[in-house]
A and B are shown apart, each in its own frame.
Chain A
């Protein structure tokens, strides 16, 4: 297959174009479609966090739902019991996520990658059990009726109750997260992570403290997940134990695999495809695992580089 020549200008044009389209879509879309687009952005934040840990450091977490739920429940509890300030709620969500992730990360990374996958899965199930059985989380009923919150800038206060405002707020945070991801993977820190991913023994021999780096990227990755959960709960107005369910841990895994683990746009494209597909399957088929399972099998067996990885190979250019 011949390769298409890649004009260098496109490197800046494409991201700017995507942002422009996302801004425009906020004006055009309404109702369910706007909600779905908002969900895509949140899923993309979740997926970018996951990809930092898995694609760049080589640690497969099956427990990111723990952090998604930590962020989500914290926002719900802040809005219900403390204040409707979104800044405050998000800050609290990140702090709580950092504490939970610090504890889980400390225990999970030191036994290698196979153990890591099993341990994160187990700890997330523990968070699920706490959410499911505790009174402060509302047990299996969860916490319904969560408001959208508001942004207080000192001189003026913006309510996020309108779906359009909430969408643009999510969009700003999404762009920020993508920017942070870009900076991390192109920094010396990012290169260090990839050396750990490719060969932990050698990385140790050249003087890299593998455990320390693994714990740092685990924490950053968990904060992305916490932020995603914190944005998702006010969108759906509902915090439920499903946030911590292991199928939620599977969401960013699926998004990244569909989009492509080793391309920069992979998590975003994957999040878009996955969110739309899942929502379609839930409403039209009513049984999404029946279709999602075989899709995952096909990806793992035949298309490990995902959609964007496949396109990158065709275009001869990493997308």
Chain B
């Protein structure tokens, strides 16, 4: 095992980690502001990826079809996010967390069923534009351009999310509502609309990750379930309610996965959960969680 290989493994791990964080961030925002654990967030990712695939296939002879797909998926999921918030979540904000989990689990099943009905059970592969297919040379080793693209794409979207939360009126209002719903209402913030928009933004971000990231994870029904379980593990590792913790958790999982796929492929699949168990043993509240 030489230096170049370690660097490439590390870079691939960072790529995965950034993509994971992109998915987890939407989940964390919903959890942090609305207090909803959205089991269906992984399904939003999956659906976004499928919609991107279909759009890209339909427009395959047009330049930029890949991007059209990514954007179409995000727009569609933004719309679906609005609908789900309006017709499902709003009815159960007051209910126990466990019922929210059960309701969104119902959504997971339903969306799985939809995907199976429309796209069938066979895995799908998205065709990347030519400028994303080559290899770069890093420390004497080949590293796919696509990985660099995911790294940059995720960073841009994450920066955009940060901007939305901390530099726009919607972000201020959303954080205010997260701290104190009643007081925010009294100050004239339309909390209902703010929550609806933020939930839709979270869904759209998941779809962006799905559309752009399909090159990293094969697209098949049931992907939503495995993604969301991984996201939960990342949140538990980072600490419930800590976005920085989620970032560290995502990078940690991404990098360790990348190394173990390469060197111990049999253990890579359960590695995230083994790390989760170890973190729980040593630090039950998660790496960055408060007591």
Contact = CB atoms under 8 A, between A and B. Distances in A.
Interface string B252-291: 0000000000000011011011101100110011000000
A265 B233 CA distance: 35
Given A126-B270, A250-B105, A118 B92 contact: no
A246 interface: yes
A204 interface: no
Interface of A is mostly: helix
B98 A122 contact: no
A21 interface: no
B98 A289 contact: no
A293 B284 contact: no
Interface stretch (B3-11, B55-63, B112-120, B125-133): B112-120
B24 interface: no
A300 B103 contact: yes
Contacts of B229: 121-122, 125, 246
A293 B99 contact: no
Contacts of A114: 37, 97-98, 240
A107 B277 contact: yes
A24 interface: no
Q: How large is the interface on B (under 10, 10 to 19, 20 to 34, 35 or more residues)?
A: 35 or more
A300 B99 contact: yes
B106 A129 contact: no
B21 interface: no
Contacts of B270: 125-126, 129-130, 133
Contacts of A291: 113
B288 to A, nearest CB: 15
A292 to B, nearest CB: 5
A290 interface: yes
Most buried by A among B105, B226, B232, B267: B105
Nearest to A117: B101
A134 B266 contact: yes
Contacts of A257: 102
B235 interface: yes
Interface in A48-71: 60, 62
A253 interface: yes
Interface in A273-319: 287-297, 299-301, 304
Contacts of A247: 225
Contacts of A132: 269
Interface in B66-123: 88, 91-92, 97-99, 101-103, 105-114, 116-117
A53 B269 CA distance: 28
B236 interface: yes
A62 B107 CA distance: 15
Given A62-B105, A117-B37, A126-B270, 12 more contacts: A60-B98, A60-B102, A107-B277, A117-B98, A117-B101, A118-B235, A119-B236, A290-B110, A290-B113, A296-B103, A296-B109, A301-B92
Interface of A: 60, 62, 107, 110-111, 113-115, 117-119, 121-123, 125-126, 129-130, 132-134, 246-247, 250, 253, 257, 287-297, 299-301, 304
